[in-house]
Chain A
Amino acid sequence: MHLIKYDFDYGRRALLEKTLRGAASAGVLTSLWPMISKATTLDTRKAYPEELTSIEAHTKGKIKPGDTITADNVEHVEHLLDPIQVKQIVEWNRRIKIVEGLSHLDKLLPTPYLEATLSNQGRAKFDKTGNVRDGKTGKPWIGGNPFPDPQTGIEAQAAMYLNWGKYDYAQYAMREWDLGAKGNIEYQYDFLWCELQVTSRSDGEIFRKEEDTLRYHTILFTAPNTHAGASFRNLTWYDQSKFPELVGYIPDFKRVREYPTTQRFEPIAPGMTFYLSDAWGAGDPMLTWGNYKIVERKPMLAGWQNNWGGEGQRKNEPLPTHGGPEGKNFFETQMELIPEAIVVESEPVKYPRAPVGKKQAVIDARNGQYFRYRTTDRKGSLWKFWESDYAPEVVFPNGKTYWSWSHVQIHDVQTNRMSRFIQVHDVARYKGQLDVEDPEEVYNRFLTTQALRNLA
């Protein structure tokens, strides 16, 4: 006779209780991160009951790995999806393939970041200004997730703000499509996205000894021709209460101009539903938003694997799409059950003119990485829904495979417009790359205002 130690809804009840209690560690059967740091394994399954790690157990056999979620069976996983995803499946014939879940952290994070997280555990503190510091030295955070076992909303979000892509340098070649409400492709853009961590680097260094800077970030459009050369350069200060410096090169005017903070809440190109503020669910400095709170902990479906489009994506070919009025709205996506997602809500307290009322970032409690994001407008109506899907096997132009994001789908539910983008091999002559040997070179090439002019 097989004794079931925990009844079927034990996991979900435990997560609900944790949400109601406020502060709580990740994990149900045990606290996840203390277990990981003491154990020799990076397997997270021991912290959760089977009903939270197996989709088959969770749905009592109605859905299993290999199945495809469609309008016909979505009822069995409806509670694991965002209502917008359910609407996409029911009304726009979206489909999602279910796969066996990943459980080892080395498949859920890049190795340098994971190692920094493990070695720097317990050293992060908020200073009196609200910024994250190394508790030992008072210096800027030394890399990895500062709060891998978040107790509060701001702790859960801090890792996303301090290092978006979880690499010290990330250069993504991206291809993007914007669809109208009728499902037709109205715009297509290629751009390069560069993130250079100055502080909070996994290698523990501070780039150019600029302790007051967190990150340099550039978006460089390379196509279509009329938009090629358009760019935005973000300088994010380490002090997360300071507004970033945003400059951009506008091809129409052949000029680099400085932008105000409100520009962060506007489409960066015609047709896009994507705003700079939306980047990684943490586009603005952490302390320019406020009222962080964890509003939910629950299992969810997330795309952590098999979302790399293989050779097609590597060769810059558009991925197959389906759903929507013209069959062009959605990428094929593979999702898995994750045992514990943390939904953190916050408000743009320092942006009185922001059109956004609230945002909710959905973070996997195991790796601290966001995978869904939604915003409401100032009236409280749902506005935009983001879904980011990842893969540990993204093949970069150097031929190596890395953990990284693969594709993103954004749905403006008020206008029914969509933007979706993928990571490709290269755009124009710029290839994707991670953790370069000479950050000074990429800094000079992509991340200064002079660079913007040269790139134009």
Chain B
Amino acid sequence: MKKIYKVVTALLSAISCSALMSAPGHAALFESLLGEANLAFDYGGFIRNENALSITNKENPANQRGNIFNGVSVRRNGAPVGSPAVIIRDTVVRPVETADTQWNLEYVRGQLDTTLSLTENLKFRAEVRAIGDPTIYNDEFNHSDVPTSDMAGTLQREPNYFEYRYDSGRAIFPGSGGRGGEPQDANNDAFEARQLAKLQAEEGSSPLEWAGSDYMVDLPKFYLDYQKGPLLVRLGNQQIAWGDLFFWRIMDKANGLDLRRHSALDFAPEEFSDKRISSLGVRVSYVLKGWEADSYIQRFRPTILPNPETPYNVVPTQFTVHDQFKLFDDEANYGLRLRGPLGPVDVTLMANRRYNHFGVYQWTDSDVVQGLQPNGPAGAGAGPVTTPLEGRFAGELADTPFEVDPTGVTSSREFVTYGAIARLNHVDTLNAAIDHFPASQSAGGAHASSAEEQERQQDFFTQVSGGLRAHVVRDYKRENNFGLGISYKIRGPRSSMFFDEIDADVEISYTPNRKFTATDVSPFDDELIEEDEWEVGLVLQKFIRYSATHPSVFFIFQYLHRTESDIFGRHLSGYDAEPDAADPENRLPTGRSSFDAIAVALQQPSPTRKWRIDFSFLYDLAGGIQVQPGLRWKPSGPLTIQAFVNWVDTVRGNEYNNALSTLDFADEVTTRVEYQF
């Protein structure tokens, strides 16, 4: 952050010095550079009520109160590795009550957009975005409702809708070598406590954002624009939107996404305009002979995921995430894009160097000094399990990725199923947490050589612990992206309704040595998945005029191909697990060779454009679909009313082999009532 501030301060100082030059010669220079003084102030904005009503009885499985094992009797057959037979047989019911969610979202949102023109060439723009969430949801999670639950951190204890929290620079084991400045001492409880105090201790990744659990205010636009002729310099907090696709972002590599606000389920044609994360930086573009060179250097900010226990959370809350953004908050991304005509086509060339905003996840020690629970979760019929191990291994567990808490994983079935949900290999993940953490071995863990053996070990651990939470760090890795875009207008016969004037675009990006979360969540950087990734998108756009009375219907068809990961950045080798398979070996992920999807969008305005019908769908060719029909009514200038439906489902194949099943719970109707001023 300091580096960015220095650059910004230096540039602002330079501009201020120019402004202070008052000698006549300097005044002329000043005017020739900045234009005539043209002081003017404009503002506008809107107030909007947004609601999303759930139209399904599905709950979000990533949340405690949507966990698919709540209220379900699950048989456990526990045994340590090497044991010739099952040692403990019992039945467990996860001790959390399932919710009956009716409202997924209830916002009051206001936005104020202001522009202060200083001279003909210089203006300052600020946009204030404020969102209040009355949090009147009927089924919010509270950890105190779960007996004995007292997990580390704050985000998973009860819903926090808007604060982005990350660690304040802790030592992480062992992948990054004790970053944070403190030497590791596995047996020092005081050290562990200091480490733990850093969990989620930092708040907000932007100095221009203020958030609480039920509100956020930020300045997504806060910049100074200098435009003279073909030169544009934009200095300050800004979004950088490159690329022209919706649902996915092949060339749009500059900014991460802020998914706190309705996740990826907002109105699809808005193309992430409310989601792209603004950041401090400088953007310079110049146009010469029809070619535009557009460059930027901008502070890195990661994608912000919805917090645990909030309606659109996608990271199962049995995980506690140690976000390491603090170690990257003064890092910058930068890039260059060239666009212009080349014969019959328009060409875009793009290169950027950035920290991948999704990040990678790796096991880390939990630092939670908590022995095995005296009472495990209430076993259905069998009663609480008591073992001679109760209260033991507190020091060891602090140096493993595990934390004892009933809101953690409570059975191997849950372990296997949530491994599939997270697109991880449930056998390898536990082996990595044992092999790479000596304390895990001290606590009785051992490398399992078969799926069945591992599941028994998982059952055993959950039986003696009363539930295990898992701790991971979210780390960020540099990568280089190179992109090529080609646009061509297809001309067909003028009389043709469908084949004339089709805009065809191809976008291709290549990322060498991209790093992905390993499916075993290994803590070592050299065990991350590292692959060259290609992303290819084909877009066909067409306005079809089929009626003399109605404006054209706007039609977009898109095809996406990615060689290594899905649209959420998860590596495809974690796909296609079958957690309910009879043979434990068949429950493991077998992977997917590529991610392929199509998207279609239609927009049909009424003759006066007072009404507009929207329809879009995204179909993962492996069987997942998101359908979004919508209707917008603009009865008068200031008032707009909009409704759209999200329906997400797996329509064929294995639900763990398509990306969209992650949002399968989000069948809902969203309404927006907006008043502009």
Contact = CB atoms under 8 A, between A and B. Distances in A.
Interface string A342-370: 00000000111101000000000000000
Contact of A257 (B40, B494, B541, B549): B541
A127 interface: no
Contact of B552 (A224, A254, A262, A440): A262
Contacts of A261: 501
B42 A429 contact: yes
B269 A262 contact: no
B638 interface: yes
A262 B551 CA distance: 8
A327 B489 CA distance: 47
Interface of A: 186-189, 222-226, 228, 252-255, 257-263, 265-267, 269-273, 350-353, 355, 377-378, 415, 417, 428-429, 440-441, 444-445, 448, 450, 454
A240 B667 CA distance: 51
Contacts, number: 121
Nearest to A417: B608
Contacts of B214: none
A265 B677 CA distance: 29
A267 B232 contact: no
A269 to B, nearest CB: 7
A418 B497 CA distance: 30
23 contacts: A186-B636, A187-B636, A225-B113, A226-B640, A226-B674, A228-B113, A252-B269, A254-B270, A255-B241, A258-B541, A259-B543, A260-B543, A262-B501, A265-B545, A266-B605, A267-B551, A270-B605, A351-B494, A352-B495, A417-B608, A450-B230, A450-B232, A454-B225
B271 interface: yes
A71 to B, nearest CB: 29
A224 B541 contact: no
Nearest to A267: B609
Nearest to A455: B227
Contact of B271 (A189, A254, A270, A350): A254
Nearest to A270: B609
B84 interface: no
A189 B637 CA distance: 8
A262 B227 contact: no
Contacts of A258: 489, 503, 541
A207 to B, nearest CB: 14
Nearest to A438: B229
A223 B636 contact: no
Given A253-B273, A444-B229, A270 B634 contact: yes
A223 to B, nearest CB: 7
B44 interface: yes
A188 B605 CA distance: 19
Contacts of A273: 608
B229 A255 contact: no
Nearest to A208: B289
Given A224-B44, A254-B271, 16 more contacts: A226-B46, A226-B674, A253-B246, A253-B271, A255-B241, A258-B541, A267-B609, A270-B608, A271-B634, A378-B548, A415-B608, A417-B608, A428-B40, A440-B229, A444-B229, A450-B230
B282 to A, nearest CB: 15
B158 interface: no
Contacts of B227: 444-445, 454
A450 B288 CA distance: 11
Contacts of B117: 429
Contact of A186 (B292, B549, B637): B637
B249 interface: no
Contacts of B269: 252-253
A249 B42 CA distance: 20
Nearest to B117: A429
Contacts of B232: 450, 454
B122 to A, nearest CB: 11
B551 A225 contact: no
Contacts of B45: 225
B270 A252 contact: yes
A429 B113 contact: no
Contacts of A266: 551-552, 605, 609
A260 B229 contact: no
Contacts of B541: 257-258
Contacts of B538: none
B44 A225 contact: yes
B386 interface: no
A271 B609 contact: yes
B287 interface: yes
A263 B115 contact: no
Contact of B292 (A352, A441, A450): A450
B513 interface: no
Contacts of A417: 608
